[in-house]
Structure 1
Amino acid sequence: MAFRSRSNSSDREAESGYASGSSTASLPDIYFTRPHLKFVNAQLAKLEPVDVLRWCLTSLPQLWQTSAFGLTGLAIMDMISKLDYAIKPNIELIFLDTLYHFPQTLDLVERVKERYPSLKIHTYKPEGCENTADFEQNFGERLWESNEDRYDYVAKVEPAQRAYRELDVKAVLTGRRKSQGGKRGDLDIIEIDDQGLIKVNPLANWSFKQVQAYIKENDVPTNDLLDQGYRSVGDWHSTQPVTDSEDERAGRWKGRNKSECGIHNKKSRYAMFLQEQEEKRQQELSDAIHQGLKIEAAP
C-alpha cells in the first residue's frame, strides 16, 4: 500500500543502491504495507494519546490538525500545547467554516485563539463564499434540505480537499473516537483514506467521560452549547441536544439515516456524481473528436 509515490526506474538506480533522506532519489512521501499498518495500530493502541502524538511528530511529515472545535479536538489542541518533547510540535489547524456554525462555536474559536496564541488556524469556507448570503446566492437557500449530498460536498468536502491540496497536507489529526457511536465504532488510531491521506485519531479509544475529565482538569475552553444538552456540535440546522441515554452524536442529523457529513467517508455521493459527469463529458468529447476525424478522413 503506497501513497503519493513519485518514484521511477531511473531514480532507483542510485550508485550506492540505496536512497537516504539527503538523496535526490524520488521516493513515496509516506509508505505503509497493510501488515505494517496493522502492526502500528496494534502498538499505538497500547499508548496514551500524548504518546501517540509523540509518535506522530517523529513519523509523519506535513502533519496538521482538523477540528470543528468539539471536545476531543479541543483536548488534542491542549495536549499539543503542553507536549514536552525533543521535537517541537509545530502543528497548525484547519477549520472548515461552513457559514452555518452556531454563534457559540465561532465565539469558541476566538477564545481558543486567545488561550493558545501560538496556534495557527487556517479557515476554509465554501468556494467563492465569504458569508451565508454568498452561499445562498451561489447554491440556493436551505440547500441541506433540497440536496443534502450537494450541501455536504460544497460546504465541507470540497473545502477540506482544497485545504489539503493548498497546504500540502500528508497527515491529519482528527477528534473521532469509537465511543461516539455510528460508523466510528471500529475506528483505528491510524487510517488511510482513498486519496492516500493519513488520518490519526489519537483519542480513538477514550470514552466521553475521559475526554470530559481531561477538559475539566486542564481548564480547556469549551462550547457554551454543552451546558444546553449538546454533546457533538455541527451546523445549527442539523444539530440537536441529546439525552444521557443516547450516543454522543445522536443529535447530528437526528431522524435521518446519516452519521457523517462526507469528510470521513470514502467518497461522498455528490463527489462520485461529479466524477461520473466529468468522465461522461470526457467520453463524449473523445467520441466527437473521433467522429470528426472519421468525417475528415472520408474520401
Structure 2
Amino acid sequence: MPESTSTTQSSPSPTAIFTPAHLKFINAKLEKLSAEKIIEWAMLTLPGLIQTTAFGPTGLVILDMINRIHIDQQAAANAHPTPASSSASEDDEDLDDSQTKFKKSGYNTRRHPVPLVFIDTLYHFQETLDLAQRVQDHYNIPLKVYKPQNCETTEDFERLYGKQLWETDEVSYDYLVKVEPGRRSYQELGAQAVISGRRRSQKGDRSHLNILEVEAGTGLLKLNPLATWSFQQVWTYLRAHQVPFNVLLDQGYRSIGDWHSTKPASNPDDERSGRWEGKQKSECGLHVDYFKMRAEFQATQKKKQALLAAQQQAVLEAQQQQVVQVA
C-alpha cells in the first residue's frame, strides 16, 4: 500500500481545459472510434491519466487494452529506436531479461503506463481481493491501494465509526470508504484525468453517458472508453483474451461492489439490479457531485457531534443533580 497523506487536499488544477463546444466536438469524434483507439488517444493526449477500478468486468477489459496498447508501443519503439528511447534509463535495467520475459509471456514486464488505483473499502468480497492479486501477477503491474483514512482493517474502521455504518449513515459510509480515499489518490498521484468502467447499458444515471466528461467544480476529466459497449461485448472480450475475472460472475453477479450491498442480478436486462436492493440509489458516491457529497457528509458529522455534546451535557447535569440530592 502506498504512503498516504493524513489530510485530504484539493486535486491539482487541470492543465487541459475544454469548453462545452470543444467537449461536444471531441465526443462526436470519439463516438466513431473503437474502445482501443479511444484509450490510445487518451494515453497520448490527456495529462495526469490514471485508471480507478474495483476489478469489475469493464475495468478489466480496459486494463487489458491499456496493456496491449503499451506492448504495441514498446514493440514499435524497439523496432525503430530513437536516441531518446535507446538511451540508458532506470526503465532499461535488466533489459535483456525483460525482453525475454516479454516475448515468452506476451505481456510487458516494464513499467505500466497508466497508474492503476484500487479503492479498498474494507468490505469487498474475498473473491474481489483474490482477483486483485491475480491481476497484479498476470500483468506484472503495481496496484496503488487506497483505504479509508487511518484504517488498515475492518476492525479499525468499525472501532472509529461503529458497525454497519452503511445502514445507519449511508452518506458518511460512502464518503469515508470511497469518496475520500478516491480524492486522496487523485491528489497524491497528480491525477487530472480518470478512466472509469461506466457504460450506458448499465442504465440509471449512466444511460446518457458521454465518453469524455468534465467534472463540475473540479475540472477533473473522466473518460468512459467503453460507454457504448453492452455487457455481452464485455463478457466476450474477457473470454476471447483470457482476462482474469471475478469468479462471482459465474454465480450470477454482474456488478460487484461491497459484500453487504451486492447480490446476483435480479433482472437479466439490468446488470446493476443486484446493487443496493430496495434502495433508491444507483451510484456509490465516486460518480456523483463531489462538493454536494462532501457538504452532506460534513453536515451529518456536525449533527452527530451536536447530538453527542447534548447527550454528554445531559449526563453531566444528571450527575450534578444526584450530588445535590445526596447533599
The one-character-per-residue Cα deviations of 1:73-117 (angstroms, maximum 9, x if unpaired) are 000011111112368961110100000000000000011011100
Q: 1:271 aligns with which of 283, 288, 294?
A: 294
Please name the residue that 2:132 is paired with. Answer: 109
Q: Please tell me the residue identity of whatever aligns with 2:147.
A: K
- The structural deviation recorded for 1:270 is 4.5
Within the candidate set 49, 52, 60, 1:63 is matched to 49
Rounded to whole Å, the distance in 2 between the matches of 1:63 and 1:76 is: 13
Unpaired segments of 5 or more residues in structure 1?
6-27, 280-299
Aligned length: 254
Q: How far 1:57 moved relative to its partner?
A: 1.5
Q: Give the corresponding residue for 2:277.
A: 254
Percent identical among aligned pairs is: 50
Greater alpha carbon shift after TM alignment, 260-269 vs 38-47: 260-269
Q: What is the match of residue 319 of structure 2?
A: none
The 3-state SS of whatever aligns with 1:95 is strand
**Which residue in 2 is equivalent to 1:11?**
none
Q: Residue type matched to 1:70 in 2?
A: G
- The change in CA–CA distance for 1:276 and 1:240 in structure 2 (over 3 A counts) is closer
Change (3 A) 1:4 1:135: closer
Asked whether the equivalents of residues 192 and 198 of structure 1 are also in contact (C-alpha less than 8 Å), the reply is yes
TM-score, structure 1 as length reference = 0.81
Alignment gaps of 5+ in structure 2: 1-10, 78-110, 303-327
Amino acid at match of 2:144: H
By how many angstroms is 1:181 displaced? 1.1
- Residue number in structure 2 paired with 1:50: 36
SS in 1 for 2:290: coil
Identify the residue that residue 40 of structure 1 maps to in structure 2.
26
Q: Deviations over 1:94-152 (max 9, x none)?
A: 100000000000000011011100x2210000000000000000111000000000000
Q: 1:63, 1:173 within 8 Å by CA — same for their partners in 2?
A: yes
Aligned with 1:78 (options 54, 59, 64)? 64
1:215-262 C-alpha deviation (Å, 9 max, x unpaired):
010000110111111000000000010145341111110110000011
Aligned to 1:222: 245
Instruction: Rate the CA distance shift 1:31–1:278 in 2: closer, same or farther, 3 A.
Output: farther
Q: Distance in 1 between matches of 2:291 and 2:263?
A: 23
Cα 1:274/1:98, change in 2 over 3 Å: closer
The residue that corresponds to 2:17 in the other structure is 31
Matched residues in 1 for 2:192 and 2:165: separation?
31
Q: Give the distance between the partners of 1:196 and 1:4, measured in 2 at CA.
A: 9
Q: Distance in 2 between matches of 1:255 and 1:268?
A: 26
Aligned to 2:148: 126
1:209 aligned partner: 232
Higher relative contact order structure (alpha carbons within 8 Å, sequence separation ≥ 6) = 2
CA, structure 1 residues 241+268, in 2 after alignment: closer, same or farther (shift >3 Å)? Answer: farther
Counterpart for residue 13 of structure 1: none
Structure 1 residue 231 corresponds to structure 2 residue 254: yes
Question: What is the alpha-carbon root mean square deviation over aligned residues?
Answer: 2.1
1:160 alignment partner, SS class: helix
Per-residue deviation at 1:54?
A: 1.2
3-state SS, counterpart of residue 190 of structure 2: coil
Greater per-residue helix proportion: 2
**Structure 2: how far apart are the matches of 1:226 and 1:277?**
36
Counterpart-to-counterpart distance in 2, 1:196 and 1:94:
20
Cα gap change, 1:270 to 1:172, in 2 (>3 Å): closer
- Which one is further off, 30-39 or 263-272? 263-272
User: Quick one: structure 1 residues 46 and 93, their matched pair in 2 at CA, closer, same or farther if it must change by over 3 Å?
Assistant: same
Q: Secondary structure at the match of 2:114?
A: coil
Using the size of structure 2 for normalisation, the TM-score is 0.74
SS of residue in 2 equivalent to 1:72: helix
2: distance between equivalents of 1:66 and 1:251? 21
Deviation at 1:269, TM superposition (A): 4.9
Correspondent of 1:90 among 113, 128, 142: 113
Q: 1-side partners of 2:132 and 2:12: how far apart?
A: 33
- Give, in angstroms, the shift of residue 277 of structure 1: 8.6
Q: Aligned to 2:145, what secondary structure does the other structure show?
A: strand
